[in-house]
Amino acid sequence: MFEEFVLAASTADLSEEPRARDHADAVEFRMDLADAPRDQLASYDGELPLLVTNRASWEGGEADGLARYDALSDAVARDAVAAVDVELAALRGTHPDPAEESHATALRDAARREGVAVVASVHDFESTPEPAALVDLLADAASEGDVGKLATTATAPTDALATLKATHEATVAGHRVATMCMGEPGRHTRAVAPVYGSKIGYAPVDPAEATAPGQYPLATLRTLVDRLRGGEPGA
């Protein structure tokens, strides 16, 4: 997975998967936002592979405590799950709670035993660092997972340019990355970053339930990405 660009339809309700099939390559299942997420996984019989995310509250999600790792460990053992998102701060041991690192690395080991790809993620809800810092972050994230994901907040067009530049440099250096800017000034990066090497895009199945600022509707992002990359819309 992630050899080519993957458009993930984000949802907390796996019964929405049929609505995503025409446009998405995978479903990002937001376990931290879902009702009975383990039950949903147990009964999932959809066509699209799953990227499971149980986002920690300290990185913008709604999952509290270390119990989120138990749910993710159960998830990666399921055949439908092709990838799991793990916060870079936990994998690198930079979170104040040292237990985060041991749980995160154990989850990564379990995922790899199951042939499940690991997305090591970083989210900055306040700003976009300088390009050199972005490249370093992407290299760190890519070294800890199969894909290094970096979502920052753009407050000006220069932030979007910095992200695109870092995406290109990291890709040329051989790192597999996924990048985007949150916020209106960087919204277009969600469509443009794949041109520079970004491997994952995210869009909500239901536009009213966007999980991050600036997300495009699923069908819109599919069309934009395909056209900018030189393919037919929906290809």
Residue list, annotated binding site: 28-30, 55, 190, 211, 215
- The DSSP 8-state label assigned to residue 155 in this structure reads S
- Adjacency order of strands within the sheet including 117-123: 177-182, 147-153, 117-123, 81-87, 50-53, 26-30, 6-11, 200-204
Annotated catalytic residue 123: yes
**Residue 12: how many other CB atoms lie within 10 Å:** 22
Annotated catalytic residue 95: no
Strand partners, 117: 83
Q: Which of 23, 95, 149, 188 is catalytic?
A: 149
CB 117 within 8 A of CB 144: no
User: How many Å apart are CA 108 and CA 84, to the nearest integer?
Assistant: 8
Q: Which of 23, 95, 103, 123 is catalytic?
A: 123
Binding site residue list for 3-dehydroquinate: 28-30, 55, 190, 211, 215
- Residues with a catalytic annotation lie at 123, 149
